[in-house]
């Protein structure tokens, strides 16, 4: 067991990082974790000072667990803001989330066995695939929100489990996966999908964090500071989400994912040897 020492300046930087995470969650319903992880590693600076491979791997897992909790809490707060804007489809959100909880527990357990650098590198690959699918999608692919009674809710069940597993495996809220899944399986346009996704993002983040907490790989103080900054960021992000053109929002969403994916993959090129010795 290692101890990570955090300076007062790093606590301040955690609040700023939380603001950026909340902005992302409020605006696009995702990107919180993929921003939270590199921000905590390189902006707050937890990655620096890791002098041994085992300590570095421990820090990677603490970052994943801590940001999972932070993003989960931020998502719940932002979901309230979107609910007030009538962007949340509660029934679909709950049906999608419940099987995802089971998948998230399973994914988090398996992900804990995987080397931290490998997790982040694989995460980058997955992000690029999802971003490509978002850019490739045509405007006609997006059906109107709550488009009649022909929507088959059973599609939400396997989609929720699959996304929950990936969210748990990578220690993320998974908004960037949940939004397109709700658009396809739940027939939601992007603004409603963003608002509804936050129910699942919050739940998956908390579930993933609880698994890391069992191994003492979480920093609750930093998570709460992320939440503090995230409330302000989420408020601004929500206002942007309801005012911007839907196709522009879709493109912004994909571009953010690609840029962060490239950065994460570059920083974790050494991610080999997937299972801990």
Q: What is the pLDDT of residues 84-121, one digit of tens each?
A: 888 899 889 999 999 999 998 898 888 777 776 777 78
User: What is the pLDDT of the chain when averaged over all its residues?
Assistant: 79
Mean pLDDT for the stretch of residues 243-251: 75
Quick one: pLDDT at residue 8? 92
Mean pLDDT for the stretch of residues 213-236: 88
Is residue 74 within 8 A of residue 24, CB to CB? The reply is no
Share of the chain above pLDDT 90, in %: 12
Q: What is the pLDDT of residues 14-72, one digit of tens each?
A: 999 999 888 877 776 666 667 788 888 889 988 776 566 677 777 777 888 888 888 88
Tell me whether residue 94 is exposed, middle or buried, using C-beta atoms within 10 angstroms of its C-beta: 0 to 12, 13 to 18, 19 or more.
Answer: middle
Quick one: pLDDT at residue 192? 87
> For residues 215-246, b (16+ Cβ closer than 10 Å) or e, as one string?
eebbbeebbebbbbbbbebbeebbeebbeeee
Confidence of residue 127 (pLDDT cuts 50, 70, 90): confident
Mean pLDDT for the stretch of residues 186-199: 85
> Above 60 in pLDDT, residue 77?
yes
Q: What is the pLDDT of residues 139-170, one digit of tens each?
A: 444 444 444 444 556 788 999 999 889 888 87
Q: How far apart are CA 114 and CA 25, in angstroms?
A: 27
In this structure, of 154-168, 169-183, 229-243, the range with the lowest mean pLDDT score is: 169-183
Quick one: pLDDT at residue 150? 47
Quick one: pLDDT at residue 190? 79
Side-chain-side CA neighbours of 235 within 13 Å: the count stands at 5
Tell me whether residue 5 is exposed, middle or buried, using C-beta atoms within 10 angstroms of its C-beta: 0 to 12, 13 to 18, 19 or more.
Answer: exposed
């Amino acid at each position: 067991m290692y101890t990570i020492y955090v300076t007062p300046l790093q606590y301040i930087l955690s609040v700023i990082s939380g603001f950026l995470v909340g902005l992302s969650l409020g605006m696009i319903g995702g990107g919180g974790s993929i921003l939270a992880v590199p921000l905590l590693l390189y902006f707050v600076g937890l990655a620096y000072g890791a002098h041994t491979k085992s300590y570095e791997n421990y820090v990677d897992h603490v970052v994943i667990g801590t940001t999972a909790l932070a993003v989960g809490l931020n998502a719940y707060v932002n979901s309230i803001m979107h609910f007030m804007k009538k962007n949340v489809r509660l029934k679909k959100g709950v049906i999608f989330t419940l099987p995802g909880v089971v998948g998230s527990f399973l994914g988090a357990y398996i992900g804990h066995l995987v080397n931290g650098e490998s997790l982040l590198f694989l995460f980058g690959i997955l992000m690029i695939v999802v971003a490509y699918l978002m850019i490739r999608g045509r405007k006609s692919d997006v059906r109107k929100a709550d488009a009649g009674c022909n929507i088959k809710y059973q599609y939400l069940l396997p989609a929720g489990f699959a996304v929950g597993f990936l969210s748990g495996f990578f220690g993320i809220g998974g908004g960037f996966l949940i939004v397109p899944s709700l658009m396809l399986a739940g027939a939601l346009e992007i603004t409603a999908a963003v608002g509804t996704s936050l129910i699942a993002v919050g739940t998956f983040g908390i579930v993933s964090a609880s698994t890391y907490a069992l191994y003492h790989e979480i920093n609750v103080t930093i998570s709460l500071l992320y939440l503090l900054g995230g409330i302000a960021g989420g408020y601004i992000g929500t206002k942007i989400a309801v005012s911007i053109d839907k196709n522009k929002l879709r493109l912004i969403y994909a571009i953010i994912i690609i840029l962060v994916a490239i950065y994460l993959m570059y920083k974790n090129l050494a991610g080999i040897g997937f299972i801990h010795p």
